[in-house]
Amino acid sequence: MIKEREVIKEVKRVVIKVGTSTIAHTGGLINIYRMEHLARMISDLKNRGYEVVLVSSGAIGVGAQRMHLKERPRDIEGKQAAAAVGQVVLMNMYQKFFQEYNYQVAQILVTKQVETDKFMKFNAKNTMKELLRNGIVPIVNENDTISTDEIIFGDNDTLSAVVASLVDADLLILLSDIDGLYTDDPRKNPEAKLMSLVEKIDDYVESIAKDSSTKLGTGGMITKIKAAKYATKRGIHVVLANGAGNETVEEILMGKEIGTLFLGGKKK
C-alpha cells in the first residue's frame, strides 16, 4: 500500500458513480447480479458508518430495451422517451434491492443548472444532506427527460463531481469499464502503464486523456479527468476504477492500490 492511500481510510462521506457498463449488460438488459451486489455493498458501508450517495447511469439504455427498440436512440426525443421509461425501471430495481437490507432510497434528478443557479443549488444541497442525516440513500441521475443539454453535452462523470461538491463528500469513486488512467491507450500500446497516483492534474495528465479513444457511455476518459479536476480542486479525493469487480469499492476504502487515485487539495 502506498502511503498516499492512507487518506482514504479517513473518509466518511462517499459518492459512488456507476456507469451503464457496470449495471447493464451489453444489450441493455439490467445486470441483476451487479445491481443486487451494489445495493448490498452500499448497505453494508452504511452499517459501518459511511454516508453514501449513488450516482447511477443507465436510464436511456435500459429504457430503450424496455421499449423494444432495436438500438439505442440517436435523436433527442428518442433519448428523452427512453430515459423516462428507464428511470422508472432503475428506481424500482434499486428500491427492491435496498429494501432487502432495510434501507430506503430517494430519487433525485438534476440538471447542470444545479451548479449555476444559487437557489437550485441551495435546495439540492439541503435536500441531499437531510436525506443523509435520515439514513436514506440518495440516488442521483441527470434529468434527461427535460434537459437536452445534458443528453447532448453532459455526462454522469461531471454530474457526480458536482454532487460530491454539493454534499461536501470526502471521496468520489468513479466506476466504469476501465481499470484507471494509463500513460497511453492500453489497447493500442502494450507498454502503457496504469497510473496508481495522480497528485495534480496538469497538462500532461489532460493530454493523456485527450489522446485516449476509450468511449464509455456518454463520456470517455476526458470527462473522467474533468470530473476529477473539478472534485480535487474542492478538496475531494477521486478514485477511478473498474466496476466489474464486486469487491472494488471495499478494497478502495481499505486503502488498497486499486485504480487511479487523484489526491484532493485542501478543503476551503
CATH code, domain with 73: 3.40.1160.10
Give the chain's count of helices (H) and strands (E): 11, 10
Per-residue pLDDT at 30: 86
Per-residue pLDDT at 112: 76
Whether 176 has a binding-site annotation, put simply, is yes
94 within some domain: yes
Per-residue pLDDT at 71: 85
How many structural domains are present in the chain? 1
Continuous segment of H or E residues that includes residue 239:
strand 237-242
Per-residue pLDDT at 218: 44
Torsion over CA: 214, 216, 220, 226 (sign): negative
Residue type at position 68: H
Whether 211 has a binding-site annotation, put simply, is no
The answer to whether 208 and 184 are in contact (CB under 8 A) is yes
208 within some domain: yes
Q: 68: which 3 cell numbers?
A: 423494444
232 within some domain: yes
Whether 180 has a binding-site annotation, put simply, is no
Burial of 124 (0-12, 13-18, 19+ CB in 10 A): buried
Per-residue pLDDT at 147: 61
Whether 224 has a binding-site annotation, put simply, is yes
Whether 213 has a binding-site annotation, put simply, is no
41 within some domain: yes
Q: 16: which 3 cell numbers?
A: 459512488
268 within some domain: no
Strands 197-198 and 260-262: parallel
Whether 9 has a binding-site annotation, put simply, is no
Per-residue pLDDT at 20: 84
Angstrom distances, CA of residue 128 to CA of 10, 62, 131, 212? 22, 25, 5, 34
Per-residue pLDDT at 215: 38
Positions of the chain with pLDDT lower than 50, given as ranges: 151-153, 211-218
Whether 207 has a binding-site annotation, put simply, is no
Angstrom distances, CA of residue 147 to CA of 109, 111, 204? 10, 7, 33
Per-residue pLDDT at 210: 62
Per-residue pLDDT at 146: 64
111 within some domain: yes
53 within some domain: yes
Whether 177 has a binding-site annotation, put simply, is yes
Name the one residue in this structure whose C-alpha cell is 470527462.
Answer: 223
Per-residue pLDDT at 28: 73
267 within some domain: no
Continuous segment of H or E residues that includes residue 164:
helix 156-166
Whether 220 has a binding-site annotation, put simply, is yes
Whether 218 has a binding-site annotation, put simply, is yes
Whether 214 has a binding-site annotation, put simply, is no
Residue type at position 37: H
Whether 144 has a binding-site annotation, put simply, is yes
Whether 67 has a binding-site annotation, put simply, is no
Domain membership of residue 103 as a residue range: 3-262
